[in-house]
Structure formats: structure tokens, C-alpha cells
Structure 1
Amino acid sequence: MAETATRSFPKPQFTDAEAGALVFPSSTSRAFSYYKPQKMRATMYEDVTFDVQPDPERHLLQGWIYGFADGSKGYPQEWTQLRSGDWHAFRDPNEEWEQTIYRNNANVVRQIQQNLEGARKADAYAQWTPAWSRFVERNVGAWMHAEQGLGMHVFVAVQRSGPTNMINNAMAVNAAHKLRFAQDLALYNLDIEEQLAHFDGSAHREVWQTEPSWQGVRENVERITAVQDWAEALFAANLVFEPLVGELFRSHLVMQIAARNGDFTTPTVMGAGENDYDRDLRYTRALFSMLVEDETHGAANRALLQEWLERWVPVSLEAARRLQPLWSQPEEKVLRFEDSLDRAKEREVALLAGLGLGADAHIAAGSEGSAK
């Protein structure tokens, strides 16, 4: 029997030059350490969102690796007039990331579906007065166009424009809220049309396009869609339009008077939109607070926001005042328009005061202009 030749193989020689040989203070740590957490320990939100968007000021040492035809590259800070010493300091207080988006929106949709199923079983729509049925088909239906316009043509547009992933992620969630709420209203409209005789499920289109009371809201939304500065669009939508027009209609009108007109269902749908705005307002205030408190650019940022107030407050006040006829349409009129508007204006002044901005003069001037 022939002997089998013995074969030899080279053996690895370790020289301490291989990857992983270097020992440093966090060598044994299992946590990310390439950013400074807001608190003592990093959260899951920070781990999955921080630095996902590259930035030459932090880790992209070779500079932007992609650009646009006009010469701009990556995520230019020049896409807004506002300035920050550290855009990466922003954290979304809602800590929104992929899991929270699905979980929160699924909970909202599930709640609305359960409420509508209960309304169908109880034949709740039959308890509505004829005047209230007409109010819902025309005005509640029309509001879906405002939500759709802001969601698709404002927030979807600007959610790519911020200089960090943390900011863009928050605005993307804002877009999802708007589009889901517009869909909630559309499905609610169809549900009522199936259950209630003589309910015109298409009336909202004509109202949005031609009804004089709604043309101020329509103009306000369309003007915001034309804004190129992403921060100004966010400011005009969440810190001016929503308090003066959105909450005025949703909270100070529909949710206040629906029950007095035999409707206990619509407030649950509108309440979902109000909850969305509460979350969106939370991150908006955190972002602009960071900007007005910036050690280097805070004063200039505050002056610019005052200019934006002068531009947008009169537009939204005009839109609000043109909605006044809606307060007289239901049979049960438990609120005066001026009382509702005063509450909306007080809310706006308080919100802006929290940012160190004075809105009293702008709101007073806008009111006088509208009155004239």
C-alpha cells in the first residue's frame, strides 16, 4: 500500500496589525458611540435615526458623493434661511421611527373603525338633523382637501429638504399623519353616504372649489405649497395655519357643536386629527426652540421668524374669518364665531410667545384688516 504524502499549510501569524486588535476605552461596549445621546443612555429612536443621513460635517470626510443639476449637493443647509450652530442637536420629543409610525397609525385607524362600526349598528346617522347632515357632507368633507393638500404638497415635499435625518424623519411622519387623516375623512364620507339617504358624498368637491366660505382656506393651503424654504413651509403650516384655521374648524366648531346636533361620531374622527396635530406641534416647537435659542444664530433666526409672522398671520386670519358663515349653518348654534376665533388667537399668541416671538400686534393688525 502506497504511503499518503503529508501536506502542509501555512499557519496564520498574528501581528496585532489586524482589524480589532486596537484596545480603546469602549472596546467592550455593545452600544453605539459615534454620537452623543441626549440623555445618559441612547434610546432606540436615536440608534435607528441618528446619522442615517450622511453629513460631511460629521462622518462623510470625502464630501458629498452626489448632487443635483443646479450644482447643489447632498442636503444643503442653504435650503432654508434659518441657521444653526448644530443641526444635529435636534431630537424629536415624540421619538418617531418606523415602528412608532405603524403602531400609532394602526391604533388610530382601529379606533375609528370600531367607532364607525358602533355607529352603524346603532343607526346613529339617522339621529342627525337635516341641517347637520348637510353641514357634514359639505364642510367636514371639504376639510379633507386641506389635509390632503398640506400632506402631499407641503410635508411630503419638504421631508427630504432638512439638513439631518432627525428633522426629515419628523416631517415625514407629519406627512403620514396628514395623508392618513385625509383618508379617514374620505372613508367616513363614504360610510355616511352608504348609511344615510340623501347624503351627497361628492358635495365636498364643489364646496372646496367654489364655496366662498372655503376659498380663504384653499388659498392659504395653496400658498404654503408654493414656499421653497422648508422651514418657512413648516412654520406657516404648523405654527400659523393650524392654530388659527385648523384648530378653529376642527376643535372650536365641529367637535364643540356636533353632539348638540345629535352627532356623537364625527368628533371621534376629528379627534384623531387633533391628536395628530398635538404630536406634530411637539416636534415643531422643539425644532424652532432650538433655532431661536442658538448661541450664534438665535437673534437672526428670531428676526426672520417675525418676518414670516408678518407674511402668514394675515393670510390665515383672512381664511379663518371667511369661514364665519359655517357657524350659522347648524340648527343648534351653541357658539359665536367671534368667541371661537378669540380662543384660536389666544392659542396662537401663547404658542409663539413660547418661542420668544410677539404675535399680538400681527394678530391685531390682521383682525383690523379683515374687519375692513
Structure 2
Amino acid sequence: MSQATAILGLGLIGSSLARAFKQRAAELTGRVIVYDRKPEVLRQALADGSADEAYQLDQMDSAGTDFTPLKDCGAVFICTPVAVIPRLAQAVAARTAALITDVGSVKAPLLTQLEGLRYIGGHPMAGSERVGYACGRASLFEDAIYVFCPPAGREQDPQVLADTAWLSALAAAIGASPLVLAAERHDEAVAAISHLPHVVASGLVNTAVGRQDDLRQRLAAGGFRDITRIASSDPELWSGICLQNRGPLLRQLAACIRQLDDFRHALTERDAEALSRYFAQARDSRDRLPDTDSRGSLQAEALLTAEISDRPGELGRLATLLGEAGISIRNMGIRHARPYEGGRLSVYLADPADLRRASALLRQAGYDCE
């Protein structure tokens, strides 16, 4: 399955896949053929080497798209909004016998609608509130879980097994951790840990600062911005996701509302013990989660935090100290308490065994670190 691989849609995920395939998995994917509705994006993909061939995509009228170049593809990745995936998948299947997969965050409805096609649902648990081709990067999938959902009842079919194995190998090649799940289990899980948080984050923003309250906006510091970051996501994309995963999301919303009702009752009754239990349960559950970066599975023992001032070159100085000591950094992120006043830097090390040495090195250089 290495003659060619196609990607339909070059937003954040699609463009990141294209880059990752070219840079890290060329032996598995072969030539990379891309489709997008924006001519300027297609030109950019060809210019920066993310694609070998590029064609115009009409998401709203698949009959208006020439899918002839897909004839010899081994696999087609559909990276468009969930609502248009079935229509595109049917059109693609009429032109090629290739494996069809997608990156949407809802799986059971798609598997039902695409029954009979050579289709395996896919969902890389990676992303950002940022969108568009320019935001894509080959490293997006590093340490992320990449879920694959084969058709129910056909998990042991030889073709399905072979396709799932190839997808899993490809996910591993681009740095992700493949995980095969039943579609219903996937949809219930993402309703709780992805879809509900988007709804709640949007509700917090609408409640707290949605009325153009200058004082609230000025006071909204790092904590509020952190927990509402995902409210900046694409509104049309997320309304479609919520509708597609309506049943599981409604169940999770009901559970969340019960939690808030319990809290409201305890607050109304001035029940300090119940309020304390509410916060303690959340703290304990949160503390049991593996400490991660924004994508998936970096463990707590690989994390170092340090106070850093807002001075030119300060971040480079810290990175140089570690680099010259042979300590590899996998990822970094900074949390500001207030703009332009420094903040707390999180440094994820590639090797947890380096943690103690890195901490000692930074303390010796004058950093307050944990």
C-alpha cells in the first residue's frame, strides 16, 4: 500500500498529516496526493514539499471534484468537517478500491453510514484551537493517541485486520500511539473528555466575559485563559461535531448538570463539608491523570517546571543550558500569570532519567524549579 496516499482537506490535521507522511513515513505512504478547496493552499503544499500532486476539492458538491488521480492510491484520508465525510467517502469509493479513513472525532454514525465500504474510522487525539494550513506541523502527532475503529462485527475479517495493521504502523511511524477501539466506546469517551469540555469552555466565556465587560476582560488572567482556550475553536466545526455525537454528549451534559446542581444545593445550604468533598473529589481525580503535554502521553516524571522572567533571550538561555549538558527537550510551554511579567515554564524532557540532573543544573544557574 505504498504507491500513493491521498489527503482530502488541508486544515490543521490534514496539513500535519501531509508533512508527517513526507518527512517520517514515505516508505509506507509513497507519493502524497492532496485535495483542498483553496487554490493558494494547494500551491503552498506543492511549494513546501508537503505534497507531490495537488487538486481542487469541492466539499459541497463531490460530483464537481475529479477523483481520477485516486485510482492507484492505497489509502485516502478524509480530513474535512464530519458532516461532509460520508458524501466524500462515497464519491471516493466510486473511483478507487483504496482504504478510506478519516480524522473526525465521531465514529459510530460514520461507520453506520459507510457500511459496506472499505472504511476504518480514525481519530488522532491531537489538535489545537488554531486552524488552517499554516498551523500544521509534522510533529503534531508525537506522543498522541491515534484511535482506529474498525466496522463492528468485521474486526477479524482478513482485509480489515490488514488495513488496521497498516494504519497502526503508519500512526507509529509519525510518532503516535495507535489504539483500536469499538466506535461506541470511542464516542462515549470523547463526549466526556473532548466534546463536553468545548461546550463548558464556551459557556464559561459566554457567562463571564460575553457581555463585553471591560473589567472582567482585564481581570481574566492565566487561569481563566487556560481553561477556556478551546473556546477559540471553529464554531461551525464544533456545532457539527456536537450534532453528530448528540446522544453521548447529551448524557455527559446531564451528568455535568447534576454535578453543578449538587454544588448549587450545597452552596445554598451553606454546607461546607459537601463543598469540600466536591473540590476534593475533583482534585483527587485530576491528580490521578497522567501528566501530559497538550497532545497525549508524556508522563509526569519527564516534566520539569521553572520560573522564568520576561527578558530577551531568557528562554534560549535555559534551553542552551540543558542542550549543552546533553539533555534533550521534547516540548516546552509557558504559563503567564500576567502579560509581560514572565511565568511558569513547563519543560518536557525526552528522557525521564535526565530530570534530576536538569533540575540541579537549572538551580545552579539561579532558576527556581521543581
Structure number with the higher strand fraction is 2
Structure number with the higher helix fraction is 1
TM-score (norm 1): 0.27
TM-score (norm 2): 0.28
